[in-house]
Structure 1
Amino acid sequence: MTTGSLHDKAAGCLVGSAVGDALGGPTEGLAPAQIRQRWDGWVRGIVPPYHDDWRTARPIAPYHKGDGHITDDTLMTHLLVQVYLDKGDHLDAYDIAERLVPRLIGDKVWVPELETETLLLHRVFLAEKYLALRLHWGHADPREAGVGNAVNCGAAMYVAPVGVINAADPDAAYAEAIEIAGAHQSSYGREAAGVFAAAVAAAMVPDATVDSVVGTALRLAKDGTRVAIEAVAEAASRVDHWTEAIESGVLRAAVRPYDTVADTYRDQGLGARRPSRLHSIEELPLALGFLVIAGGEWERTVHGGVNYGRDADSIASMGGALAGALGGRKVVPDALVEAVIRASRTDLEAPAADLATLAVRIRKADADRRARAERDFGRLLEG
């Protein structure tokens, strides 16, 4: 791959996202103090699970998070790549119902956190199981099936492929992600999916910068999502290192007014994960905030997300995708990539290569359609 090419940036994005996900899995749901106590300091690499008895410590989530295992964030991302490859074109909400859900409930995959080959449905959490409930059993209109689901980062966490398919066209990425996310999410959960896909598309531009990525997110984001990103980005601009941001609590303070999840992460307040025009998911603003603090550098962006705790795997995965798209495949350390591939028994490179190849074909077809439309419009003007 040529550095800075479509294939290079796609690999940086998807591989960087997967490794960030694997590093953040063990720290998910924890507070920074718990993280440092459990692992004797900041987590900067692959660590074992928080609970030695991970199968029974939390019966509602009996997952082996740690030891280099990717989580449902990456499994769902790879599933969306497969749906793109199936169709060979842009996706809409009906493709989620007719292509993604059948794979979710019918295709066996290796699930590292369950240490077995099984249906992905058995690993995804409740807000993602809602896809099968609404679209397969409930036969809901795919364009609005996400209404009634818990509003969270469930759709945003796997839409990076939308940004790759629409590389350098964030407006198109936003529109496509908003379309497909309607099958899964509503309100600010759906909005975050659109904005994250747009940010990835912006990061794919050859001369993209952290400022251009954040600027794109702010230009397209609506309501509480835009205000939360603005507040976190401003706070991040005043911090020199992710350790300072976590110890001072400045990013948490910035996002708190817009987050419906309590400071004690597993506590459920009355308004938690309910639709609102005033609120935002926490993960996307934080991923952008750590990207700002790190100046776009992959390791520091991901380490910030990992050690922040709370929904650490999604924050680190989103931040890793954006920093990887900015810097290309070389910014994700080979030793980490190889360790995660071995531990997860999952090919992290091939999905990115296949998606980039497909993006070329789709964009050629887009250009041909656009040329025909412009030609026909020109004939209208002549008439």
Structure 2
Amino acid sequence: MSFRDKARGCLLGLAAGDALGAPAENLPPSEIRRRWGRLTEIEGGGTDDTEYAIFAASLLARHGHALTYADVAAAYRREVIPRVSGPMRGAGFSELGTVEALRRGMEPPLTGLVHSHGWSDGLAMRAAPYGIFCPGDPAEAARLVEQDGLVSGSGEGILGGRAVAGAVAAAMGGASTEDVVRAALSVIPADSWTARNIVRARTASKTVRKPGAAGDDGLVEALHEAVVVTHYPWTDLAPEAVALALAAVLAGGGDVEDSVTFGVSLGRDADTIGAIAGAITGAMRGERGVPERWAARIGPVTGKCLPVVAGKHVLDVADELAGGL
């Protein structure tokens, strides 16, 4: 497969996973099973996950490997804040807090610290373009995504983004599912919350070989027990979402549909889990690896969260990124 095909598969997989998981966001697995059995069909559009990934890709298209957090902050001030007259619809805590910090004249990395949601998965959900841009080079993908993360996150939130960018970079380079997980772990500290969760999820994922097989519910339960913070009221924890998404990739054997449908069945931040799993497996399998019925449901984004990206399609964005390689 060409880098273009992998890039298109990556962002199409991200958008499909985002859209598939959107109605299951914040639901427990038991409620997802009650409503859908296994959620397999896209019902509506995507969320801020896809729009922020497109925005991140635009930063890379302009700045490439020279991207800095100052460039990211300037883009927020120039392209995001002037177009948001009120609350950002559908945006996560970290991005909402960052916009307010930037409005008040703060600069990164303070903008990613003051809102106290630096651990969120806001960076992880938009990290895939950095992996596309650095095929086979997880370390460089992680370095670049951190520049983005310093504007809106801190600590484990940045590590989650680094892990996803590293995994996608490895997938773009032809890595296996196991090697993708190793790549994610290679770019974060072994003693971090994110790394420990990934290791726990990897261990739990070995209890079954493929979603849909007998024992699938047991794997869901094992993964929740391994990484989910049940007492915390919000679900956008990067160490949790990233670990669950990587477990889904392993459980699905790298197949886009199997990995994404299993990922969203885990509930919690289901759209982000689906988006990450879709991005990694899409990069592994290419555009044809994304089910045609899903691809047909992905259109240009509406800009409901980020008006600056309204009208853009992930396939065009992927082509632009691949063209710069």
Partner residue in 1 for 2:306: none
Q: Which runs of 5+ in 2 are unaligned?
A: 303-310
Q: Aligned with 2:112: secondary structure?
A: coil
Give the direction of change, closer, same or farther, for the CA distance of 1:280–1:71 in structure 2 (3 Å limit).
Answer: closer
Give the match's secondary structure for 1:282: helix
Residue of 223, 230, 249 corresponding to 1:251? 223
1:13 is aligned to: 10
State the match for 2:108 in structure 1: 142
Letter in 1 for 2:101: R
The amino acid across from 1:281 in the alignment is: P
Residue type of the alignment partner of 2:40: R
Q: Aligned partner of 2:180: which letter?
A: V
User: How many angstroms apart in 2 are the aligned matches of 1:328 and 1:252?
Assistant: 30
- Could you tell me which runs of 5 or more consecutive residues in structure 1 were left unpaired when the two chains were aligned: 47-66, 109-117, 274-278, 361-383
Q: What do the CA deviations read for 1:198-228 (whole angstroms, capped 9, x no partner)?
A: 111111113x101111111122222111111
Q: How many residues are treated as equivalent by the alignment? A: 310
- Give the match for residue 350 of structure 1: 316
Partner of 1:237: 206
Contact 2:301 2:313 in 1 (8 A): no
Give distance in 1, aligned partners of 2:244 and 2:127. Answer: 17
Deviation at 1:85, TM superposition (A): 2.6
Tell me if structure 2 keeps the 8 A contact 1:105–1:121.
no
Q: Equivalent residue for 1:224?
A: 193
TM-score (norm 2): 0.88
Give 2:39's aligned amino acid.
V
Following superposition, the deviation at residue 342 of structure 1 comes to: 7.5
SS of 1:26's partner is: helix
TM-score (norm 1): 0.75
- CA 1:141/1:174 → structure 2, altered by over 3 Å: closer, same or farther? same
What is the DSSP-based 3-state SS (H/G/I as helix, E as strand, rest coil) of the residue aligned with 2:297? helix
Give the match for residue 167 of structure 2: 199
Counterpart of 2:82 in structure 1 is: 106
Where 2:239 maps in the other structure, the secondary structure is: coil
Helix, strand or coil for the counterpart of 2:88? helix
Q: Select which of 300, 308, 320 maps to 2:266.
A: 308
Amino acid in structure 2 at the alignment position of 1:35: I
Map 1:314-329 to 2 at 5 A.
Answer: 314-329=272-287
Cα separation, partners in 2 of 1:9 and 1:140, compared to 1, 3 Å: same
- The change in CA–CA distance for 1:297 and 1:164 in structure 2 (over 3 A counts) is same
Please name the residue that 2:50 is paired with. 74
CA distance in 2, matches of 1:340, 1:119: 27
Provide the C-alpha distance between the structure 1 equivalents of 2:238 and 2:315, rounded to a whole number of angstroms: 32
Which of the residues 244, 258, 265 maps onto 1:286? Answer: 244
Using CA pairs under 8 Å that are at least 6 residues apart, name the structure with larger relative contact order, 1 or 2: 2
State the Cα distance separating 1:104 from its structure 2 match. 1.8
Higher Cα Rg: structure 1 or 2?
A: 1
Once the two structures are superposed, residues 116-150 of structure 1 have per-residue CA deviations (whole angstroms, 9 ceiling, x without a partner) of xx999344233211221122x22223234211331
Q: Distance in 2 between matches of 1:143 and 1:83?
A: 18
Q: Kindly provide the CA deviation profile for residues 53-112 of structure 1, in whole angstroms up to 9, marking residues without a partner as x.
A: xxxxxxxxxxxxxx320100001111111222333554211111101343222358xxxx
- Kindly indicate whether the alpha-carbon contact (under 8 Å) linking 1:44 and 1:303 is maintained by their aligned counterparts in 2: yes
Measure the CA separation in 2 of the matches of 1:357 and 1:106. 30
Residues 159/101 of structure 1: CA separation in 2 closer, same or farther (3 Å cut): farther
Q: 1:300 corresponds to which letter in structure 2?
A: D
Q: Is the 8 A contact 2:245 2:274 kept in 1?
A: yes
RMSD: 2.4
Once the two structures are superposed, what CA deviation does each residue of 1:27-53 show, in whole Å capped at 9, x if it has no partner? 0000112112223x211112xxxxxxx
1:161 matches 2:129:
yes
Deviations 1:292-346 (A, max 9, x none): 1111111011001111111000000000000001111110012211123289675
Matched, 1:299 2:230: no
Tell me the SS of whatever aligns to 2:136. Answer: coil
* SS of match in other structure, 1:281: helix
**Which of 278, 283, 298 lines up with 1:340 in the alignment?**
298
- Confirm or deny: 8 A CA contact 1:25 1:70 kept in the other structure: yes
The DSSP-based 3-state class of the residue aligned with 1:73 is helix
User: Is the CA contact 1:104–1:120 (under 8 Å) kept in the aligned structure 2?
Assistant: no
In 2 relative to 1, CA 119–71 (structure 1 residues): closer, same or farther, beyond 3 Å?
farther
Q: CA offsets, 1:1-42, max 9 Å, x none?
A: xxx211111111111101110000000000112112223x21
The letter for the 2-side match of 1:141 is E
Sequence identity (%): 31
Map 1:205-216 onto structure 2 (within 5 A).
205-206=173-174, 208-216=175-183
